[in-house]
Structure 1
């Protein structure tokens, strides 16, 4: 059954942690089965890595991206196998948009695992370690952050890259330019302006070489029209044409994530409930900052999974 008021949102990098999904996997064989499918593609045991490995190991971008994709797809498979309502919209934050593509039927899971591993590797290689940076800016509006970045560039790259919620924006670019922008944001009245523990400046022009190298692999992969509409990061709109979706997924690598606009688009279509399909509750928190009237559900443990099943049933 489809719930006309329900959307699914899929998290991106930053939601990973050692031991994730361990409790729910004990009673849901679908979880480890999905991880086994991914491990076949990757050539290593992804489940063992995220349960028994080191945090530094799963924080490597080329491992983080397949890990979060697999976690989200595993939870969605479990959701549907347990009779969970089908959503009317999907959206994913950065890497999470790949999870949405798989869960909407637009892309085969194993193809997505391969592509996001390459995406992570190429994004990390695009800028040498230590030369890029990202920072979170709290308490300024979008325009104030954009002005601070423009004034701080001085011939280098620094820009707003994640419009996460009103008053919460992530900037990225060359390390020295980001440092200047942090000080400019503080001077403009930011409540917080703090570097993030990420070495690569995601979603900036510095990522364009990664996008160009990934393009041939995306172009030869079969994409389908999504069975469930996806609101895309690049322009916060829907797209049904598979070739246009490929272009958006290439562009997404070096364009900002317009998450606030994506959520507003979904809410404006009549959605009042959202399920965060992946580990953690990061997106639920952002959604609440965008619109407190929306009910947000996490499903990464047995308790909250079953509660979400009950609450969203039609």
Structure 2
């Protein structure tokens, strides 16, 4: 039996290629029907209808009030599909809204309560849609860490954000990427600042604005966090049955967690402060030393950030992309359940 840390993806992972993911993979029809009932009662289109649409619609499927429910259900379904006779899950973590999925996978929230939390927060963020997000890399295409480059970019973000007429923050520390969030003036100022350099469009894609994304994990989301606390009761939160690693690298241990503090973090700092995914993966590696890192679906885009985070951590002496490929070829360290050939390794 192999040990595994399970990683739940966040927003932006249910795209055209994932249409029909729930129909293909969700293992519990009664549970999915209960999720649908929650959405129908709230006047929302059901997950079954969204997932079964004839065509993927970015305007519909990437909205926070739809994407959060789809992603939560896909991730939980994948978690339930892991073969426990072959895989021992030693810890669970996630990226951004993947924290809500992690809470349900790890047992701190019952599945229906986890769905209610993810769907409620996604809807509140969509309704408010405060600010926006963009991605910018601090690693090169070979995934070689450049600490000076990262420090320079973060100092630039801090200078822009300190101006009285704009807001800009580090939203997610995502492996070799910085996810930045702010108001239009702050995001525009960053684009202008990096555009003055010769490497303005690095790796042909960046800086990249994220459609239908608000300024997650910043102080700008405090109204959303407050509304979430008003709608989601702390009594829903219980002891996890599996260790959980949050966006600050804190471990929530079974039978030893302060459930009130877990609620306060989830509907407080998790919403309004930077989410350090890199640290979460680093802690997962160093504290649990798993045989595998299993990234749940939907999508496959989080795998690169996991690999980059392990490189930052110096895990198995990896210092760049070629080292990761060597380790991956030897041990199959990273498993992405969104890829059919890798899914079969654990499901």
| Same fold? TM cut 0.5 | yes
Task: Give the direction of change, closer, same or farther, for the CA distance of 1:199–1:22 in structure 2 (3 Å limit).
Answer: closer
Match of 2:156 in 1: 148
Consecutive unaligned residues of structure 1, counting only runs of 5 or more, are: 310-314
Alignment of 1:305 with 2:343, yes or no, is: yes
Alignment partners' CA distance in 2, 1:231 and 1:24? 26
Match of 2:168 in 1: 158
Give me the TM-score of the superposition, normalised by structure 2.
0.79
Give me the TM-score of the superposition, normalised by structure 1.
0.87
Q: Select 1:275's aligned residue among 294, 297, 301.
A: 294
Aligned counterparts, 1:148-297, within 5 A: 148-153=156-161, 154-155=163-164, 156-166=166-176, 168-187=177-196, 191=202, 192-233=206-247, 235-239=248-252, 240-250=257-267, 251-269=269-287, 270-291=289-310, 292=324, 293=327, 295-297=333-335
- For each residue in 1:25-73, what CA deviation from the matched residue of structure 2 results, as whole angstroms up to 9, or x when unmatched? 45x6615444222102111431221231633211110111111111111
Aligned counterparts, 1:7-46, within 5 A: 7-18=5-16, 20=18, 22=20, 25-26=23-24, 30=27, 32-43=29-40, 44-46=45-47
Aligned counterparts, 1:112-123, within 5 A: 112-123=114-125
Alpha-carbon contact 1:25-1:31 (below 8 Å) kept = no
- For each residue in 1:182-224, what CA deviation from the matched residue of structure 2 results, as whole angstroms up to 9, or x when unmatched? 2224446663323222342111111110001111333344211
Alignment of 1:90 with 2:109, yes or no, is: no
Q: How far apart are 1:176 and its partner, in Å?
A: 1.2
Alpha-carbon contact 2:238-2:259 (below 8 Å) kept = yes
Greater shift, 8-17 or 181-190, is seen at 181-190
Q: How far apart are 1:300 and its partner, in Å?
A: 3.0
Alignment partners' CA distance in 1, 2:86 and 2:74? 17
Alignment partners' CA distance in 2, 1:17 and 1:194? 17
Alignment partners' CA distance in 2, 1:165 and 1:199? 19
Alpha-carbon contact 2:22-2:73 (below 8 Å) kept = no
Q: How far apart are 1:119 and its partner, in Å?
A: 0.6
Task: Give the direction of change, closer, same or farther, for the CA distance of 1:226–1:106 in structure 2 (3 Å limit).
Answer: same
Q: How far apart are 1:279 and its partner, in Å?
A: 1.1
Alignment partners' CA distance in 2, 1:199 and 1:24? 23
Q: How far apart are 1:127 and its partner, in Å?
A: 4.2
Q: Select 1:111's aligned residue among 110, 113, 123.
A: 113
Alpha-carbon contact 1:21-1:279 (below 8 Å) kept = no
Moved over 4 A (4+): 23-26, 186-190
Match of 1:137 in 2: 136
Match of 2:145 in 1: none
Greater shift, 137-146 or 10-19, is seen at 137-146
Q: How far apart are 1:296 and its partner, in Å?
A: 0.9
